[in-house]
């Protein structure tokens, strides 16, 4: 906004923490860093009784 010469307001946009939000609603959350951890996360997600955010 400053680059467009618009004065900043009280509210500033920030990226949401979707993993914290998932935990708040009782969902499992996984953040895989490798292909094998993604595979393990998918297996775990499909076998879980709760929602899962990957």
User: What are the pLDDT digits (tens) for 33-54?
Assistant: 999 999 999 999 999 998 999 9
Do 22 and 28 form a contact (C-beta atoms < 8 A)? Answer: yes
How many other C-beta atoms lie within 10 A of the C-beta of residue 54? 15
Place 3 in a pLDDT band, splitting at 50, 70 and 90: confident
> pTM of this prediction?
0.61
- Tokens standing for residue 1: 């906004």
Do the domain assignments include residue 5?
Answer: no
Do 43 and 54 form a contact (C-beta atoms < 8 A)? Answer: no
Do the domain assignments include residue 47?
Answer: yes
> Which percentage of the chain shows pLDDT scores above 90?
48
Do the domain assignments include residue 46?
Answer: yes
Do the domain assignments include residue 11?
Answer: no
Residue 29: give the domain boundaries: 18-53
Instruction: Give the Cα separation of 12 and 29 in Å (integer).
Output: 26
Closest CA to 41 of 52, 49, 50: 52
Place 10 in a pLDDT band, splitting at 50, 70 and 90: low
Do the domain assignments include residue 49?
Answer: yes
Domain total in the chain: 1
């Amino acid at each position: 906004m400053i680059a467009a010469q618009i004065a900043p307001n009280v509210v500033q946009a920030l990226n949401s923490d979707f993993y914290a939000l998932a935990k708040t609603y009782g969902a499992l959350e996984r953040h895989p860093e490798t292909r094998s951890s993604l595979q393990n996360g998918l297996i775990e997600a499909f076998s879980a009784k709760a929602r899962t955010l990957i």
